[in-house]
Amino acid sequence: MGDHAVKTRELTLRGLVLGALITTIFTAANVYLGLKVGLTFASSIPAAVISMAILSAVKDSSILENNIVQTVASAAGTLSAIIFVLPGLVIVGWWTGFPFWQSFLICLSGGVLGVLFTIPLRRALVTTSDLPYPEGVAAAEVLRVGSGTRGETKDETGEAREGLVAVILGSVASAGLAIITATRIAAAEVTGFFRLGGRASSGYDVAWSLALLGAGHLVGLSVGMAMLTGLIIAWGISVPILTSMQPAAAGVGLDAHTLTIWRTEVRFIGAGAIAVAAIYTLATLAKPVVGGLVSTLAASRRAASGDDRDRDLSPGWILALTVACLLISGWLAYTFAKSTVLAPSAMPLTLIAVPFVLLGGFLIAGICGYMAGLIGASNSPISGVGILSIVLCATVLVLAVSPTPENRPALVAFALFVTAIVFACATISNDNLQDLKTGQLVGASPMRQQVALIVGVAAGASVIPSVLNLLAKAYGFAGAANVGVVAPNPLPAPQATLISALAQGVIGGSLEWRMLGIGALVGVGLILLDTTLGAMKKLRIPPLAVGIGIYLPMSATFAVVVGAVISHWYDSRARSMPHPERADRLGTLVASGLIVGESLWGVINAGLIVGFSKDAPIGLVPESFAPAPWLGLIGFVGAIVWLYGWMLRRSAAVRPA
């Protein structure tokens, strides 16, 4: 009877509703962060803390119900990575906004497939795997702390209360600095370009972002050093060499020339490196994928009365939902093609699109799930998988329909449309196994979590189109027409811009294969380097993270590197503390707060920009305010010193008996 009571408290209506509400906030924050800097954050940990605080007021809540809430919220927060592809349809000029039902169904069908495709991988990559799952383990820690406030375990040390304070402090610090930079009193970043010798040039673009610093803390030194390696390859080697080989045209300034070289050539080196690293990851996954399929089929033959903590959705449900999602995908592809000059080829294109979603989605689910287990969902280089997908999809379409000047724009749009469905699948598989690891550690039912993940996908899919339309109206996207946009500086949308350029390049026959080829060679070299370092038991340099460091703007990676280095220093200090596990947990929670606070302010600021029709609605001084760069640096460093000082003092303090 008692066991049954615990089970009924796991998948509850209030848990699903609370998860969906938290989802709305985190999805909005993630969409903004992803379009601005090309990174999204995993929302599991902050969602676990928030639900922990709310559910602690309810007598019959449990750690398992708390886990369901964070599962729903994390699924939707991760689905927001669809913005790495979907804005491409606006950037190439096909859409002017985001039609609700089309955008919703793209996210829903692809996202649910992401849940279904990772079910056969659970035993191989979670139950019997030694992958670290950094965010999954951290979320489980948070949930265990929260169980103390509900009387499941005694909270004599006040860990639950202290954890909530840690998240709030991080959020207040990052949102506070972001608000001050929005007033222009302090600068958000410092940019400059300089000559190296006669004709070569390079530059720097350093953003004082506490959200990115928090992301750096969570990913750790290995990924941080890999991103630093990417920065050095891009700005210390590639940009100087290419600018010296191609002098600026008459009338083109140093700044514009250097940026153009990085944008049109160096980023494709990064894309090539990411593609090779993704293929390598896929090859290493062949064995666990096959093993997972075999064990899932074997488990389905066993009696249904087995251990609830090792039971997935039944094969019948998996098959039915997969067929439903593929039918939706096929209908989306057919109606999209039918409304364009591709109408005569609508059925053949649909017959290409559906198998591409099925096979491509399953393979990509394996890659993304593995990478999330290795380095966490926040830093899993999912955009590299998007690059691989768009090149494959566009290449297949070109073989099926000969590009002409008349149908080329429609083919590009169709390639982006289909890739968006596959990418929605990738984003959820990236998060699903992380959540299932958390569930495994707290004794949850995988089947109930999989239901919660599907609810989370539906909640996120219903929010994303509206948030995208808001940001498109407020900021616009780099490279798009941006008619009627208020702000003069469009959102960079780095992955969407790159993936759109790749689609146009493959279908238009103008793709910069040379730079992609150089990037592929760099990727091979990085794989060999990483393998060698692993054999020597040295610090690993993940090749995918290096590729991201090459093609993301420096402003999106600098603070991540700083956060990773500070995290390493903090961890070494924490090991000498009386309670190192307490210090580690505080670091995780403050870093999560840093990410949430700044991201949420970004969404609020977007609303203010639209409402007041001004680029800087709370700007108090001119953009040329001289002390701003120094004040930005002081605020950034001051917040770091204050927060890490607080964590070290708390970790060193004697706990109450």
Tokens of 219: 């990913």
Q: Are 147 and 574 in contact (CB under 8 A)?
A: no
Q: Out of 229-233, 554-558, 610-614, which region has the weakest mean confidence (pLDDT)? A: 610-614
Give the dihedral sign, CA 638/641/644/645.
Answer: negative
d(CA 320, CA 334): 21
Q: Is the pLDDT of residue 154 over 60?
A: no
Q: Name the DSSP letter for residue 18.
A: H
Q: Which residue has the tokens 């794989």?
A: 527
Is residue 637 assigned to a domain?
A: yes
Give the dihedral sign, CA 526/529/533/539.
Answer: negative
Residues ≥6 apart with Cβ < 8 Å to 13: none
Annotate 539-602 with DSSP letters as a single string. Answer: ----HHHHHHHHHS-HHHHHHHHHHHHHHHHHHHHHTTSS-HHHHHHHHHHHHHHHHHHHHHHH
Is residue 235 assigned to a domain?
A: yes
Number of domains in the chain: 1
Annotate 469-528 with DSSP letters as a single string. Answer: HHHHHHT-BTTS--TT-S-SS-B--HHHHHHHHHHHHHHHT---HHHHHHHHHHHHHHHH
- Return the bridge partners of 491, or none: 477
Is residue 608 assigned to a domain?
A: yes
d(CA 170, CA 211): 9
Is residue 310 assigned to a domain?
A: no
Tokens of 118: 């990772």
Span 232-237, average pLDDT: 93
Burial class (CB in 10 A: 0-12, 13-18, 19+), 197: exposed
Strands 189-196 and 200-207: antiparallel
d(CA 167, CA 146): 13
The 10s digit of each residue's pLDDT in 275-304 is: 787 777 667 666 666 665 666 566 655 544
Span 29-40, average pLDDT: 69
Q: Write out the residue range of the structural domain in which residue 474 sits.
A: 2-302+338-652
Give the pLDDT band (50/70/90) at residue 407.
confident
Q: Which residue has the tokens 């995290």?
A: 567
Q: Name the DSSP letter for residue 79.
A: H
Give the pLDDT score at 3.
43
Give the pLDDT score at 562.
94
The 10s digit of each residue's pLDDT in 588-628 is: 888 877 877 776 787 677 677 767 767 778 888 887 888 88
d(CA 546, CA 526): 8
Amino acid at 116: L
Q: Out of 41-50, 163-172, 211-220, 577-586, which region has the weakest mean confidence (pLDDT)? A: 41-50
d(CA 76, CA 81): 10
d(CA 647, CA 190): 29
Q: Are 70 and 377 in contact (CB under 8 A)?
A: no
Give the pLDDT band (50/70/90) at residue 5.
very low
Give the pLDDT score at 525.
94
Span 553-561, average pLDDT: 85
Residue 28 region by backbone torsions, left for phi larger than 0, else alpha for psi between -120 and 50, else beta: alpha
User: Mean of the per-residue pLDDT values for the chain?
Assistant: 81
Burial class (CB in 10 A: 0-12, 13-18, 19+), 295: middle
Q: Is the pLDDT of residue 340 over 60?
A: yes
The 10s digit of each residue's pLDDT in 114-129 is: 999 888 778 777 777 6
Span 353-381, average pLDDT: 77
SS3 of residue 95 by DSSP: coil
Is residue 292 assigned to a domain?
A: yes
- Predicted TM-score (pTM) of the model is 0.76
Tokens of 395: 């290449």
CB atoms within 10 A of CB 129: 18
Q: Are 368 and 385 in contact (CB under 8 A)?
A: yes
Q: Out of 11-15, 141-145, 332-336, 530-534, which region has the weakest mean confidence (pLDDT)? A: 141-145
Is residue 238 assigned to a domain?
A: yes
Q: Is the pLDDT of residue 171 over 90?
A: no
d(CA 278, CA 584): 31
Q: Are 494 and 551 in contact (CB under 8 A)?
A: yes
Give the pLDDT score at 305.
46
Q: Are 51 and 22 in contact (CB under 8 A)?
A: yes
Tokens of 594: 């840093």
